[in-house]
Chains A and B, each alone.
Chain A
Amino acid sequence: MGHAVAIIGTGQTHCGKRTDVSYPELIYEAVSRAFEDSGLSPDDIEAVVSGSMPPAMEGVNNPHLYWADAMGAGGKPLIRIATCGSTGISLAHAGFYHVSSGLFDLVLVVGAEKMYEGNPQGVMATVADPFFQRPFLAGAPGIFALQSNEWAHRYGLEEKRVRMAAAELSVRNHTDALDNPYAHIKVKIAVEDVLKSRVIAYPVRILDVCPASDGACAVIMASERMVRKMGAKPAWIRGVGYCGEEAFFGEGDKVVWQAAINAAKTAYKQAGITDPRKEIDVAEVYNPFTFQEMLFYECFGFCDFGQACELVEKGVVMRGGDLPCDPSGGVLCTNPIGATGLQRAAEIALQVTNKAGDHQIPGASTGLTHAMGGLDQFNGIMIISNSL
């Protein structure tokens, strides 16, 4: 293991349609809050990591250079990291390695997206290669619908049961988002609303699907030496895991999904976690689609394969359950893609340091944070605790 790494400050913007600010100004907002939270100033920062989804999302090439000043990065080392939907977690990992390598003591990590400036679905259609997949797999909902149907079929899950569980997850996320000051979609909904909402790609309905958001997130990471020096009570990064797989959607098994399983296994091993269901107190599972969230429960070992509906039905993954998931309202209610994965990490850092305010899970000491990207291709995990 390398040097220990902690999260000592986070900053998020309000998410939604942020036409009130330019792209750099949006980032400035998140970064300033992270400085405020940590009591640090830009001069203290030794290196900066930043990223977003495809830069075509905003129509600017090299966006990290466009925002360099908004991160206070002028004169400092800066790397742009981009790994599609998993960008946010890849940013967190890159920040981690900057410190873990021993090269830096204080690193600023920034993820952002202004999805209202471009054409998100148009850009996402260009993630699929132009030869084979672009004509068919353009747009995310279709991919997730294919995946969830396969999952339900594999385990002989009754359609009505899966539908209900997904609807309950949608209600849970929408309800929880009301308590998160930075969340985008804030509407009170009931299960019937989900069941009646428009079908986007069978069986996925509009209320099963995340929005497009403008938003940014900043996280400051520090070495153990710096944490001691500052006397901070931080969130410690105890495990990181990432796994990618084949570019062709049809090639791998997306139900017993190896990239997701491996990413979790690697992170658990590093963190010394052997029974995730017992040892994890709260999880921010990347859930742009309700159905897919259940599949992740299985891949992350929260339950056996084919058993995820039960976790929902028994309330295990709800607030008050013993493994509450996405108390922030999750990706389902807030999705500025390049920031989304980093928001998950920031949220878990808040939870384990008892700073999550109205959506605090009482007594949470260890959390899992996750993001996914590509055409169901990449998964990244980070385990964060209030102790080393």
Chain B
Amino acid sequence: MSGESRILEGYVSLPYKWAMGAATTRFFEELKNKKIMGTKCPKCNRVLIPARSFCSHCFEKIDEWKEVSQEGTLRTWCTVNFSYEGQPKEPPYILGIIDLDGADVGLPHFVGGVDLDDFEEAAKKVHIGGRVRAVWKENRTGNILDIDYFQPVE
């Protein structure tokens, strides 16, 4: 078949309400109090953050809570210089995976408190193996962004 082919424009936008479960709910409640709580697997003894109700490796239920440090080591990081629909933050920004002291798994979160206009200078402060510490939001409402970002510590 030959001839013109037009485009039908549409938009699929739907509301969601995601059930968190008890482990995530408590994890977020604790964030309000500036506490980062993990759960500890009784079998492999790993402390998992975000806190979860079962261990991904052992497939055991987890009940034991364990606070982890607000400070940790940067496992890896990147700068985000592009935009997309649904993006939570205006680029540019830095994202990292942080191995918090006392936790056995990493936490992906923003790295902030550095001036991205001077990239060379920023890259001196933000580096793999470098130490970072949680910076909290003033108004905490019980979600992962109650931690505003992780800031490099000297």
Direct contact of A and B (CB under 8 A): yes
User: B24's contact among A18, A22, A32, A114, by CB below 8 Å, is which?
Assistant: A22
Query: Smallest distance from the beta carbon of A134 to chain B beta carbons, Å?
Result: 9
A114 to B17, CA, bound (A): 10
With A126-B12, A130-B10 as known contacts, state yes or no: A22 contacts B21, CB within 8 Å.
yes
Of chain A, the residue at the smallest CB distance from B19 is: A19
B20 contacts which chain A residues (CB < 8 A)?
22
| Interface mask (A109-151 → B, CB under 8 Å = 1, otherwise 0) | 0000010111100110010001100000000000000000000
B43 to chain A, nearest CB (A): 11
Interface size class of B (residues with CB under 8 A): 10 to 19
A117 and B21 contacting across the interface, CB-CB below 8 Å: no
Residues of B within 8 A of A23 (CB): 18-19
User: Shortest Cβ distance from B18 into chain A, in angstroms?
Assistant: 5
Within 8 A of B (CB), among A43-100: 56, 58-59, 69-70, 72, 74
- A357 on the B face (CB < 8 A): no
Q: Is B65 an interface residue (CB 8 A)?
A: no
A56 touches B12 (CB 8 A): yes
Q: Tally A-B pairs: CB < 8 A.
A: 59
Chain B residue at smallest Cβ distance from A19: B19
Q: Which residues of A contact B21 (CB under 8 A)?
A: 20-22, 25
The chain A residues found within 8 Å of chain B, CB to CB, are: 18-23, 25, 28, 32, 35, 41-42, 56, 58-59, 69-70, 72, 74, 114, 116-119, 122-123, 126, 130-131, 214
Q: List 21 A-B contacts (CB under 8 A).
A: A20-B21, A22-B18, A22-B19, A22-B24, A25-B21, A25-B23, A35-B59, A58-B16, A59-B14, A69-B54, A70-B54, A72-B59, A74-B56, A117-B18, A118-B14, A118-B17, A119-B15, A122-B14, A126-B12, A130-B10, A214-B19
